[in-house]
Chain A
Amino acid sequence: MTDPVPPPSGELALDVRDLRMRYGTKDVLTGVSFTARRGEVVALLGPNGAGKTTTIEILEGFRMRSAGEVTVLGQDPARGDEAWRARLGVVLQSWRDHGRWRVRDLLGYLARFYAPYSTAEVPRPWDVDELIGVVGLAEHADAKILKLSGGQRRRLDVAIGIVGRPELVFLDEPTAGFDPHARREFHDLVHRLADFENTTVLLTTHDLDEAEKLADRILVLDEGTIVADGSAEQLARELTTQAEVRWTADGRRQVHAVAEGDPTDFVRRLLAGDPGVTDLEVRRASLEDTYMALVHRAETAGPGQQDLDGQVTEQTEEVQS
């Protein structure tokens, strides 16, 4: 059991290059590339149908890809063996599996599979009672799983996902259907994982707010490809190319939308051309505005119909103030 784990490519836990997936004639992923360093929390953000779940299922080794190179903890997930699987945590969207089991029994049962994969650096598995405490289920350790509330059940899913002390955890839409309180508790749990355990986390979400709260880095997936990659601030600069310029001239309020690039030129020309301009205001679209526009487009138009900036044309119009 002491033979060394194959060295990962550098310090990368995940290395995805030009990942493609096609179902029949439908291209779901059209070239996804990204990496994740060890200990990093990465959110895969995108509207429904963008390909988030397909991506994560390929990385988990549950789905075969059509093309591309994928390395997860140094191995190709399509050929991942059981020793590789022991270093991964998969938090499934559970439903009603093991409903008759007691919380402690199920965790204790699953923990047994990881014991042979214990190493000097990573003692496996977690002590079950300690883990139950960490996810806040101590009072329910002997409860029937069927009787847990949605939030409790989700915390149990996380506990199951990390019982083998994984080096990398996948979370697919972890807070879907949560109330705000449960969501907050769940976020605390993910932070604890990343901070104390140095676990790499890849999570999918369609909620920008959640991605900003949880992730060191956000990948925006749209129409099967990554359209932005970076921290929330970096994304704001990369993705938000629209700006609005407002001013008053001759007692009338005007607005001009700059669809692409730097609004400075427009402002310079405006001021040079009309000395009567007052109350000048330049406002860049927020990341939220931009993401909402993306989600809105994904929900209304079919995929690949129009591009993001196509909605706004450069024009000046009078507004009621």
Chain B
Amino acid sequence: MTTTGRTEARRAAVRAGLSRGWLETKYSLAEPADVVWYLAFPVIYAVVLLFMRGSTVPGTDFALGAMVLPSLVGMSIAFGGLTGAASTIAVDREDGTLLRAKATPNGMIGYLVGKILMFTLTAAVSLVALVIPAFTVAGDLRLDARTWVLLVLIFVVGMVATVPASVALGSLFKTSAQTGLLFLASTALIIPSGIFYPITALPTWLQWVGQAFPYYWLGLGARSAMLPEAMVVAEIGGSWRTAEMFVVLGIWAVVGMVLAPIVLRRMARRESGSTVAAARERFMAKGY
């Protein structure tokens, strides 16, 4: 096969992957359990914001809910991107989906493209659902053209920074049951992320931990997009640090995109009919 032939075959795989992402999103939105999952966080946030009504950021007359909402937007992007892909990759590995991709010419390309598109679309669904609680605090937010441009930008950069890293992480897990650990770790990382509690009030070493992960930066980015300019004083260094945000997220994106194909290929090389059969037997015997 010539080089142009190979390129054409890969292009066909990317197009097939896009149709895969679209179909999987469609199927997922038809599953009640999945829809509950996509909407659960927005609903929980709505309740949290409801309780925050009337409270103000200490020392100011700025509504606390309006302060927290942008952070929640950032967190939704990071949480969806980091945990979603990892958990489905472990499942797809056990049930033979990955092996099928491997048995198909350029199937892995189609699989990856499909996953990235699906997670982007479903994360967007969760974000759109955040509009509902957002109405309760919209009056205090700064919502103009700049907000929407920045939000779209942060969403795209956030997905690119987290989904490949998540794919790489998911490939490391041996069974789907182990991905529970990832949820736990993600939840733990939210503590020093400045989402629910101002990062400037934390000990310095914990601030550094928080700033190593996308949770903090995506929250910061969303705050810079949605909060009035005056609120910048609550941030580290009294700055939105937009350039630093794109640099840190960019590093995550590059590292993820370099690592994901390597780790995924290494894992997929081990996949064969007998490893899937072994997973099935373990599932039948233990139920997970």
A residues contacting B by CB (< 8 A) are 1, 3, 53-54, 56-57, 60, 62-63, 81-83, 85-86, 88, 90, 92-101, 105, 109-110, 112-117, 160, 164, 172
Contacts and interface: CB of A to CB of B under 8 A. Distances in A.
Interface in B1-28: 1-2, 5-6, 8-9, 12-13, 15-16, 19-20, 23-24, 27-28
A62 B23 contact: no
B272 A116 contact: no
A57 B107 CA distance: 18
B88 to A, nearest CB: 12
B4 to A, nearest CB: 8
Interface string B78-120: 0000000000000010011101101111110010000000000
A62 B273 CA distance: 8
A160 B100 contact: yes
A93 B277 contact: yes
Contact of B5 (A56, A95, A116, A172): A116
Contacts, number: 107
A261 to B, nearest CB: 40
A98 B274 CA distance: 19
Given A95-B95, A117-B105, A112 B15 contact: yes
A267 to B, nearest CB: 49
Q: Do most interface residues of chain B lie in helix, strand or loop, or is the interface mixed?
A: helix
Contacts of A56: 273
Contact of A92 (B6, B92, B103): B103
A57 B23 CA distance: 30
B259 to A, nearest CB: 22
A3 B2 contact: yes
24 contacts: A53-B274, A54-B274, A62-B271, A81-B1, A82-B106, A83-B9, A85-B104, A85-B105, A86-B9, A86-B105, A88-B103, A97-B97, A100-B24, A100-B31, A109-B19, A110-B107, A112-B12, A113-B16, A113-B110, A115-B12, A116-B8, A117-B9, A117-B105, A164-B105
